Every structure is written in structure tokens, then in C-alpha cells.
Amino acid sequence: MFAGICKWLILKDKKIKNITIANAKTAPYGKAAIEVLKNANLFNELSGKIRYSTDISTATTNVVWYDDAAFLSKSGINSLPSGYKAEGLNWIEIDQSLYTPLQQGLTVSQSGSENEYAKKFVDFILSKEGQNIYRAYGYK
């Protein structure tokens, strides 16, 4: 068993009735969540508790209003109400060896390539300051 899994074995607790995950067929974060559960040998045991959301944004909403637990992007933690942001109490980071890293991308449309504000935005995102913000929100 992987070190750190014991922290989130709480998902097996009977008080946790619903675990929301983004739809693995349409959302990369959902696919990663399923991969985590399978690699931790917990998927079969927890599959009856899983509720699939259409996307990662809906999973975030569902865990606040309807469900007991969720697999979210680390950046999604920042969109939770302030009372849900305490690491170790409200959320834990999953061992990165349990899932394939997600590739993030940036796209500019043809019309956007001619827009000065779009160009400035891309320049900012690719700047050292922009990259520092990305890292602060859980991206690498």
C-alpha cells in the first residue's frame, strides 16, 4: 500500500455516503480519480458511493451542497467557501504516484491572435509571475 493512503481511507467510513467524481468519460479529473481509486485498490469497495458529476466544476458544487466527499483539482480547492480550505481537515493531497499527471494547455483562437488583450494575457500566463501564480494554485 502507498504511504499517505491511510489519510484518505476515511472514504470507507459509513458516514461517507456519497463521493462525487467528475465524469471519467468527459473530464480528465474524473479519469484521474478513478485511476487513483483503482491504484489504491479501493475502487470496487467504494464504487457504490460514487456519484458522477458532468465536470469538475459541478463536482466542486456537489461536494459543498450535496455530497460528503469529492475528488477535485487542487486549484478547485480555491473556489470552495473559506470554511472548506483547511488542508488535513477538509482536504488532503493525493499521492501523485497514484495517477497519471494531467496535461494542461493554452489555446488562442484565430481571432484572439489578433486581439491585443489576448496577446497580453498569453504573455502574462507565460511570464515568471504568471507561472508563479499557476504553481500557487496547484499546477506544475
Report pLDDT digits (tens) over 14-72: 898 999 999 999 888 899 999 999 998 999 999 999 999 988 888 888 888 888 888 88
Whether residues 138 and 120 fall in one domain: yes
2 vs 43, higher pLDDT: 43
Residue 48: domain span: 5-98
Percent pLDDT > 90 in the chain is: 34
Lowest mean pLDDT among 27-31, 41-45, 76-80, 125-129: 76-80
Whether residues 34 and 81 fall in one domain: yes
Split into its structural domains, the chain has a count of 2
- Residue 5: is its pLDDT beyond 80? no
Whether residues 126 and 140 fall in one domain: yes
Query: Cα torsion for 82, 87, 90, 95, to the nearest 10°?
Result: 140
The CATH code of the domain that includes 92 is: 3.40.190.10
81, 98, 115: which is the final residue of a domain? 98
Whether residues 18 and 78 fall in one domain: yes
Whether residues 91 and 111 fall in one domain: no
CB neighbour list of residue 129: distance below 8 Å, 6 or more residues apart: none
Whether residues 66 and 109 fall in one domain: no
Q: Which of 86, 55, 47, 53 is nearest to 67 (CA)?
A: 53
Average pLDDT of the residues in 105-116? 90
